[in-house]
Structure 1
Amino acid sequence: MKFPDALDQLSADGMARRVYGEPYQTPGGVTVIPVARVAGRGKPGEDTKLARFTIAPVGVFVVRGDRASWVAAVDVNRIALIGVITGLLSAVIGSLAVLRRPPWPEITLGRSTGFGD
């Protein structure tokens, strides 16, 4: 059984959370099947103006000969956001620590009465 025939046997469920794209073959004979995640609200048959859906890539199945492997899609924006938030959080915590108790010596001038205090 070929891949397009196997995909035709899958049920077309309107409430599915994963969507498998059309498989295509590269010139090297590798079959690639894209996978996406669908999230949103709305039901099949309802007014499409009220339905809100988002589609995000999840990854691809790569089939070489008789072996299949999964290659996940990496969201580089999310990784960069984690780095920025980590840096901001460490700067805030460091600033609060310095403001509460500075690392430099405490120099205060006391009031002297002049009688050998």
Structure 2
Amino acid sequence: MLIFSEPYEAKNGAVIVSVSRTSWGGRADRPVGMYTIRDDSTTWTPAIDINRVALIGACTGFVAAALSTAAVLRRPPWPEMTERTMIAIAQARAAESRR
């Protein structure tokens, strides 16, 4: 349910009406935005919840970190350096230096 506040007249002559939304049971009001009414036009300015934006950013970062950690643990980005691989590299270098 939307609740419109009492109109407030600013010093520049604009009339401002804020709009909020009540949650279930009428517990808390959450701002939705405000109407600014001037002589020639009416504009709607939505309210931005900075905490929600920060929460979405933090969750995105955690998901990216978890996915990259899982990818590295499953198959590391560096080459396998087993004994067999090291011997093959040494033999290839020795054969190349003989040429």
Give the TM-score taking structure 1 as reference length: 0.68
User: Where does the alignment leave 5 or more consecutive residues of structure 2 unmatched?
Assistant: 85-99
From 14, 17, 22, the equivalent of 1:38 is 22
Question: How many pairs align?
Answer: 84
Distance (whole Å) between structure 2 residues aligned to residue 28 and residue 105 of structure 1:
68
Unaligned regions of 5+ residues in structure 1, if any? 1-16, 42-51, 111-117
Pick one of 54, 62, 65 that aligns with 2:36.
Answer: 62
SS in 1 for 2:19: strand
Pairing 1:22–2:9 present = no
- Percent identity for Structure 1 against Structure 2: 40
Cα distance between partner residues in 2 of 1:96 and 1:63: 53
Q: Distance in 2 between matches of 1:93 and 1:19?
A: 43
SS of the aligned residue for 1:22 comes to: coil
How far apart in 1 are the matches of 2:40 and 2:3? 23
* Counterpart Cα distance in 2 of 1:91 and 1:53: 37
Pairwise CA distance, 1:66: 3.4
Partner residue in 2 for 1:103: 77
- RMSD (CA atoms): 1.2
SS at the partner of 2:27?
Answer: strand
Quote the Cα distance in structure 2 between the aligned partners of 1:22 and 1:87: 41
Partner residue in 2 for 1:93: 67
Relative to its length, the structure with more helix (as a share) is 2
The whole-number CA distance in structure 2 between the counterparts of 1:71 and 1:26 is 16
**CA separation in 1, counterparts of 2:77 and 2:37?**
60
Displacement of 1:108 in angstroms is: 2.2
TM-score normalised by length of structure 2: 0.79
